[in-house]
Amino acid sequence: MIAGYARRLPNCRNYATNRKIIVQNPIVEIDGDEMTRLIFNTIKEKLILPFLELKRDYYDCSLINRNKTENQVSKDAAAAILKYNVGIKCSTITPGPEHIKEYNLSSLWPSPNGMLRNALNGTQFRESVICKNVKKYVPGWKKPIVMARHPFGDQYGGTNITVPRGSQLSINLKNENVEENIKVFNYKAKGVAMMTFNTEDSVRAFATSCFRMALERKYPLFFASKSTLLKEYDKLFDEVFQDIYNKHYKQQFEEAGISFEIRLIDDMAAQAIKSKGGFVWALKSYDGDVLSDVVGQGFGSMGLMIHSIISHDGKTVLTEPAHGTVTRHYRQHQEGKTTSTNPISSIFAWSRGLKHRALLDNNEELLNFTKSLESSTIKTVESGWFTKDLAACIKGEGFTDSDYLSTTGFINAVSAHLIQNK
């Protein structure tokens, strides 16, 4: 592995002394854990702060500080995002029993993600950064597939239980007009059960943000579920999407030359593999969770996948890497070894968050900076500089240690391209 980035590029020295771009309003910075915390620090030091006069409302949501503040810091961070409308978040540990001793925890403080998602009440969008030289596991994909996930209710808000042998399970539905017991199953042996829920309002808000995203990207939109099986549950999603499309988006879609279709999820999964990409794929929460990882890996590496949550009114955006804190690499770092962790998803968390700040503030200089940061990152990979996870996709399985850069070496290479781009 090459630990530094030795290649000299013109103008490198002068750029940092240039006037910094003024960002009028603050962004909320949410710090996190392990490898991604180190990566976020290096990105700020090399790719953001030398170029921007940026006010950051900072919240340290690392597990250590969540424990110290009894998780008040996550609540404060959620309130700040709603105030300033832009949050840029580092990945954070969701602690398990194994973390109690390592971090001396007084409780298993949850990841801030659930609290932030609920505060935003938005839609999760994920897509992969495309670099021409990264061989995709699905070679036909030429354009991004934007995965839209409805992160409310369903399995994530539901209740699941173990049921003893000999039990009868029913759903008790009660309101001011009616009380009804709906029989579900008689257990002759031990089993399990799960009850999930959703609401029409939440599905309406989800559908609206998907239509808006499709129009912004000028991509066709597909909503896929299993409404032939879940004739009440998934049918609600189908009906809401169709209703909103007919009433509010049909004409705009036709003018933009894009289409909207409701598909069965199995049919759509097969269609997605055969496609060239270039569409928005809207999914219920569990389907979106699973299939966005399939699509992320299909494009080459999870390190290339970017993630944002957009509130349903489109005003507030939270960006973060799509992957976790990369504990395995952090352990290598703790042993004093040089790591090669892909920081692209973290760089794009910064560029997409700042892009939203630029759009809200009408700040063209900042908007151009975010475009430059993204194109410099892609150009770095396309000119042959990348981290280990991409080496197999670019060089093939027989790659050697000299084929890839260290984590910091890659960020330095992006910095050099960013300076050259100016």
Centre a 10 Å sphere on the Cβ of residue 269 and count the other Cβ atoms it contains: 16
User: DSSP for 94-126?
Assistant: ---THHHHHTT-SS-PPPHHHHHHHHHTEEEEE
Centre a 10 Å sphere on the Cβ of residue 299 and count the other Cβ atoms it contains: 23
Closer CB to ligand NAD, 249 or 330, in the complex: 330
As measured in angstroms, the least distance from the Cβ of 159 to ligand NAD is 22
111 is an annotated ligand-binding site residue: yes
302 is an annotated ligand-binding site residue: no
Residue nearest to ligand NAD (CB): 324
As measured in angstroms, the least distance from the Cβ of 340 to ligand NAD is 8
Closer CB to ligand NAD, 94 or 121, in the complex: 94
As measured in angstroms, the least distance from the Cβ of 360 to ligand NAD is 23
As measured in angstroms, the least distance from the Cβ of 50 to ligand NAD is 23
266 is an annotated ligand-binding site residue: yes
Residue 263's φ and ψ, nearest 5 degrees, are -130, 160
Q: Measured between alpha carbons, how far is residue 299 from residues 296, 304, 326, 375 in Å? A: 5, 8, 19, 18
* Pair type for strands 168-174 and 179-186: antiparallel
Closer CB to ligand NAD, 144 or 343, in the complex: 343
Q: What does DSSP assign to residue 245?
A: I
Burial 152-187 (b: 16+ CB within 10 A, else e): bbbeeeeeeeebeeeeeeeeeeeeeeeeeeeeeeeb
Q: Measured between alpha carbons, how far is residue 308 from residues 25, 106, 296, 319, 407 in Å? A: 20, 31, 14, 4, 23
Closer CB to ligand NAD, 37 or 284, in the complex: 37
115 is an annotated ligand-binding site residue: yes
Find residue 307's DSSP bridge partners: 126, 320
201 is an annotated ligand-binding site residue: no
Closer CB to ligand NAD, 51 or 109, in the complex: 109
289 is an annotated ligand-binding site residue: yes
As measured in angstroms, the least distance from the Cβ of 408 to ligand NAD is 13
Closer CB to ligand NAD, 316 or 345, in the complex: 345
380 is an annotated ligand-binding site residue: no
Q: Which of 77, 67, 64 lies closest to 26, judged by CA?
A: 77
328 is an annotated ligand-binding site residue: no
CA distance 289 to 298: 15
> Residue written as tokens 């539905």?
173
As measured in angstroms, the least distance from the Cβ of 328 to ligand NAD is 4
Q: Measured between alpha carbons, how far is residue 333 from residues 38, 85, 306, 404 in Å? A: 10, 34, 24, 17
133 is an annotated ligand-binding site residue: no
Closer CB to ligand NAD, 325 or 380, in the complex: 325
Q: Please give the residue ranges that form the binding site for ligand NAD (CB under 6 A).
A: 91-94, 111, 113, 302-303, 320, 323-328, 341-342, 345, 389
As measured in angstroms, the least distance from the Cβ of 242 to ligand NAD is 33
- Indicate the annotated binding residues for D-threo-isocitrate: 94, 111-117, 126, 149
- Indicate the annotated binding residues: 94, 111-117, 126, 149, 266, 289
- Indicate the annotated binding residues for Mn(2+): 266, 289
